[in-house]
Amino acid sequence: MDKEECFTDYKAHCIQVEKVYDWVTLSSEIKLKEKICIDQQKPFTDCVTCPFKIPCSKTTPTMIWGKAGVDNISGSLTINYTSGCNNPLIIIINGDIVATLSEGQSFCTTIVNIQSVELLCHGNPTDTGFCIGEFKLLLHYQSVLADELDLKNINCFLSDSKGNPLRPLDPGAVICEEFSNDRENFQVPLSNREITTLNKVVLLKKGFITIQFFNKKGDLCNTCTVPFNEVEKVSLCAPPGTKVECEIISFGCEAFIIPSSDGCHPFVEIVIIISICQSVTTTAETIVGILGRICEKVPKGGSN
């Protein structure tokens, strides 16, 4: 068994530690209202054709088509790469690289839920000239009829800005941080009749949720992603020099479809209720003094 050799008397020592000034668990509810007008048209198509001319020296992708807020779009894409600077042409769809073309090659594909098309002429900043070709996109728009929606079947979940699901405890899934450093002081009487000072801390919570719509057959027929944000004041012991840390403990989301009776028809209103539970602490680095003595472990078999 290891032996311990203590070779000093008790003395005062200073150590740096993190002091917790306050720690509370809070529940918040955020209510959103979104209105959607649904066009009662049959599916229709559109064709976009245009030449492109992208500098070979550009190091970031060039967007040649974006959905501009229109959902439920599929399409057939054709890209002809005519000439360049002996550089490959990189095709990026919905943020992902899908193909790389050499001069004279073509690319064709069909895409569901197309959001963006970007091109990158992969060269060096010192290159001169352009990557030249033609872009053609045959778009198919599919509208959703209001009377086809199942008003009782709607789902919502925490996501990123592109609608990808996130877990509440994932880093950055829900941003919760102090919104303003201007902390208002106020006095609070305690049970022992003493007076203490607390601070009003302003917290900002924000993120994205995605809503799924289903038809009366139970099939997913539409999705939309919307941001949410909320500013609230919390009473804490947070004197100058302390930092506020906010941790999301749980997240819940409910959505409801409410048919509208106003003049915009067909029309639905969505009410979204978000429930968030967070742990908020205020801390600061501080120096404390303790009495103790330094102990050193002596390995087994060592001398005393």
DSSP string, 5-40: EE-S--EEEEEEEEEEEEEEEEEEEEEEEEEEE---
Instruction: Give ∠ CA 66-271-212 in degrees, rounded to 5.
Output: 50
- Tracing tokens 């778009």 back to the chain, one arrives at 139
CA 222 to CA 180: how far, in whole Å?
38
pLDDT at 158: 93
Distances (CA, A) of 162 to 81, 139, 169, 196, 241: 29, 20, 18, 47, 38
User: How many CB atoms sit inside 10 A of residue 294's CB?
Assistant: 9
Helix (H, G, I), strand (E, B) or coil at 56: coil
Residue ranges per structural domain of the chain: 28-38+146-281, 44-141
Q: Within 13 Å, how many C-alpha atoms sit on residue 81's CB side?
A: 25
pLDDT at 203: 92
CA 205 to CA 211: how far, in whole Å?
19
The tokens for 67 are 């959905």
Low-confidence ranges of the chain (pLDDT < 70): 1-9, 36-46, 68-72, 140-147, 260-267, 294, 296-304
Q: Which fold has domain 44-141?
A: Jelly Rolls (2.60.120)
Helix (H, G, I), strand (E, B) or coil at 285: strand
Q: What are phi and psi of 57, to 5 degrees?
A: -85, -10
Instruction: Give ∠ CA 114-104-54 in degrees, rounded to 5.
Output: 60
Task: Please return the burial class of 75, using the count of CB atoms within 10 Å of its CB with bins 0-12, 13-18 and 19+.
Answer: buried
- Tracing tokens 């004197």 back to the chain, one arrives at 239
pLDDT at 253: 94
Per-position DSSP letters for 180-225, written without gaps between them? EEEEEEEEEE-TTS-EEEEEEEEEEEEEEEEEEEEETTS-EEEEEE
Per-position DSSP letters for 98-134, written without gaps between them? EEEE-TT-EEEEEEES--EEEEEE---TT--SEEEEE
Helix (H, G, I), strand (E, B) or coil at 163: coil
CA 111 to CA 150: how far, in whole Å?
27
Nearest partner of 67 among 162, 157, 146, judged by Cα: 162
